[in-house]
Copies of this chain bind each other. A is one copy, B any other.
Amino acid sequence: MSKIIGGPGTVCGLILRIGQFLSASASMSVMLTATESYNRTAFHYLSASMCLQATWSFWLACAYLSALKYKKDLQTPILVSLFLGGDLVTAVLSLAAACSSAGVVVLYAKDVECCDVHDQFSCLRYGVAVALSFVTWVQIAVSFHVSFWIYASV
């Protein structure tokens, strides 16, 4: 298998995983503190999805760090297909969660203009959580496509 920048076990791959973990954790934290007073299914789904994403990226970052330290090769067909499957699931879930929450935030902020009426609905806070989830998705999409490229290049 050819070594590609951003692939499993590389420094760029590790930076991507750390970035995913940080943005997913930040999105989850902002959403969890915001939903204390305002419960919506889409927001709960975003929190759950970002929690899953943060966990997945954290363990992969640990695996990449270990591979870099002990000079192990993570770009074997079995491992790459495992990363690929996990990235596909988390990427689709992250985008779905980000978009469903974005739909609700736009509804409240633009369509019914709820931000001005109810003080307890913090449009800015929800907006930040959704933006962070989109940042997470972009990073996981990059990881997925790099893994897919490596897998298809065999």
**Residues in A lying within 8 Å of B, measured CB to CB:** 39-42, 92, 95-104, 106-107, 110-111, 148-149, 152-153
A95-B99 in contact (CB<8A):
yes
**Docked CA distance A78–B41 (Å):** 43
Closest chain B residue, CB of each to CB of A44: B111
**Docked CA distance A7–B153 (Å):** 17
B104-A41 in contact (CB<8A):
no
Report which of B40, B95, B152 forms a contact with A111, defined as CB distance below 8 A.
B40
Contacts of A107 in B (CB 8 A): 40-42, 104, 107
Contacts of A149 in B (CB 8 A): 152
Contacts of A99 in B (CB 8 A): 95-100, 103
Supply 7 A–B pairs (Cβ within 8 Å), ascending by A.
A92-B95, A95-B99, A99-B103, A100-B102, A100-B103, A100-B106, A148-B152
- Given contacts A92-B95, A103-B100, A111 and B41 within 8 Å (CB-CB): yes
